[in-house]
Amino acid sequence: MAVFDMPLEELKKYTGINPKPDDFDEYWQRALDEMHGTDPGVEMIPADFETPFAECYDLYFTGVKGARIYAKLLKPKNVNEPMPAILNFHGYSGNSGDWYNYLGYVASGFTIAALDCRGQGGLSEDRGGVLGNTLQGHIIRGLDDPNPDNLLFRDIFLDTAMLAEIIMNMPFVDKNRVGAMGGSQGGALTIACAALVPEIRKLAPCYPFLSDYKRVWKMDLAKDAYVELSQYFRRFDPMHLREDEIFTKLGYIDIQHLAERINGEVLMATGLMDTVCPPSTQFAAYNKIKSKKSMVIYPDFGHEYLPGFEDIKYRFMLGLHQPAD
């Protein structure tokens, strides 16, 4: 088996090298307190898209710092009892995609909510208001601000949690039967969401992004989705005099440090030839998960379509139709 990262036996033991800030737990408690103090002002507007079996809505809510956030919401027609729901999170710079993509789940009796990340390719707002460089990406946005609460991915993580709580409180949703899924950035947001809202019962992250930043840099893979890391050092710390400080601050938004909070059952997928989100960075998060978990491994695949995983994930999510233990 070809290996460009670590042998699989080592990956299964690897727990990451990016530092975790000493006040990490206090940081996220403060963030959640801010979120819970924000009036979401939820709006559900009937969408232009219609099908014979699904009700489709444009869902808007207000996240932290006043940004108006958008998500697609689909639910089966003529269902009179609380049903399971799934949250979907998209890849870096993308959006929630086409309504059609979710109809299979709706036809299977699920409510679906698909988030547009603030400031990316969809309809959610980014209100800005951060000090310092924002070149080429969202990972480093807020890195130069003296207040780490202004890291953009903090707010995006909170948007996932607020969406989860909004959906859980819909009268047609069983709050004990909610799942989350997504790939790449969407995989990272799946993990973050289930960590911040541990009531998430099932989650299926695929090759998650936003994990173990220092490992990415040490592997010389701060390119593609992670290019802003190398660009930041080249422009603002070319001799790496602030390296420890920078990676420690990024530790606030490193999903491996959130992973141990997850209570839900985890189904994860990874390709061992992934040069965008290296396998070791993914295992750094996976190995910290304490709840029931399994991983589907594709030895010859990278950051790409993983044959069969959509079917495996679908069958996994069907378990949400079973009553909670």
What is the CATH classification number for the domain harbouring 22? Answer: 3.40.50.1820
Give the pLDDT confidence of 193-243 residue by residue, as tens digits.
999 999 999 999 999 999 999 999 999 998 888 999 999 999 999 999 999
Which residue, among 228, 226, 229, 117, has the nearest Cα to 182 in the 3D structure? 117
Beta bridge partners of 203: 180, 266
The predicted pLDDT at position 87 comes to: 99
Q: Name the domain count of the chain.
A: 1
The predicted pLDDT at position 2 comes to: 57
Average pLDDT over every residue of 265-278: 97
Average pLDDT over every residue of 185-197: 98
Is 3 contained in some domain?
no
Helical (H) or strand (E) element with 317: helix 309-318
Is 136 contained in some domain?
yes
Is 1 contained in some domain?
no
Average pLDDT of the chain is 95
Average pLDDT over every residue of 170-181: 98
With cut-offs at 50, 70 and 90, classify the pLDDT of residue 1: low
Is 94 contained in some domain?
yes
pLDDT at 135 over 70: no
Give the pLDDT confidence of 18-69 residue by residue, as tens digits.
999 999 999 999 999 999 999 999 999 999 998 999 999 999 999 999 999 9
Q: Is the dihedral of CA 182, 186, 188, 191 positive or negative?
A: negative
| Domain, as residue range, for 84 | 8-318
Is 127 contained in some domain?
yes
> What one-character-per-residue DSSP string does 182-219 give?
EETHHHHHHHHHHHHSTT--EEEEES--S--HHHHHHT
Which residue, among 164, 73, 155, 86, has the nearest Cα to 120 in the 3D structure? 155
> How many whole angstroms separate alpha carbon 159 and alpha carbon 118?
8
The predicted pLDDT at position 129 comes to: 75
Is 266 contained in some domain?
yes
With cut-offs at 50, 70 and 90, classify the pLDDT of residue 128: confident
Cβ-in-10-Å burial (0-12, 13-18, 19+) of 26 comes to exposed
> How many whole angstroms separate alpha carbon 322 and alpha carbon 38?
33
> Whats the size of the chain, residue-wise?
325
Is 142 contained in some domain?
yes
> How many whole angstroms separate alpha carbon 118 and alpha carbon 36?
18
Is 93 contained in some domain?
yes
Provide the 8-state DSSP code for 127: -
Average pLDDT over every residue of 243-270: 98
